[in-house]
């Protein structure tokens, strides 16, 4: 069994963003040389997320609206009493998830026809990383 590790870095200009990172993950899988195995894609910051869904602009706006209803940015979070202003971003990350694991078959991501891997940013404007760990043969 082999393993390969790479980091993807992001710095968004906006507080919230949804970035399709599927091509970047595919490139890492290809570089790894793994033909059969798994890839873990993990947001390494507690105010960012990695998730799988359709890359459809209306759906991305729906996510943003839903998350803002569930965890409004200016709702008076106790976390913000520490001098931070991102209590909402922590909750949004919990709702969207921390990581995804995808099967690799024949050296390719084994996903459904509309499935794409996204990086979700909920407290942007600073540099953050995503771990991509590939294991298999």
pLDDT in tens, 41-58: 999 999 999 999 999 999
Label residue 119 by pLDDT band (50, 70, 90). Answer: very high
Q: Chain-wide mean pLDDT for the chain? A: 98
Helices (H) then strands (E): counts for the chain? 3, 8
In order of start, what are the domains of the chain with their CATH numbers?
Answer: 2-136 (2.60.120.460)
Q: Categorize the per-residue pLDDT at 75 as very low, low, confident or very high, splitting at 50, 70 and 90.
A: very high
Is the CA virtual torsion 68, 71, 75, 79 positive or negative?
Answer: negative
For the chain, percent of residues with pLDDT exceeding 90: 100
Regarding pTM above 0.85, the answer is yes
| C-alpha span between 67 and 58 (Å, rounded) | 14
Note the pLDDT of residue 99: 98
Q: What is the mean pLDDT of residues 85-97?
A: 98
Average pLDDT rounded to a whole number, residues 56-75: 97
Q: In what order do the strands lie in the sheet with 116-121?
A: 17-20, 116-121, 48-53
pLDDT at 56: 97
């Amino acid at each position: 069994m082999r393993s390969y590790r790479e980091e993807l870095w992001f710095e968004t200009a906006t507080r919230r963003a949804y970035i399709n990172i599927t091509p970047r993950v595919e490139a890492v899988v290809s570089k790894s040389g793994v033909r059969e195995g798994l890839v873990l894609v993990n947001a390494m910051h507690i105010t960012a997320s990695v998730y799988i869904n359709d890359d459809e602009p209306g759906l991305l706006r729906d996510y943003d609206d839903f998350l803002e209803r569930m965890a409004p940015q200016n709702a008076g979070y106790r976390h913000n009493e520490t001098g931070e202003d991102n209590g909402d971003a922590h909750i949004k990350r919990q709702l969207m998830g921390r990581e995804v694991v995808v099967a690799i078959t024949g050296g390719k991501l084994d996903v459904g026809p509309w499935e794409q891997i996204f990086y979700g940013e909920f407290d942007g404007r600073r540099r953050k990383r995503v771990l991509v760990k590939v294991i298999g043969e």
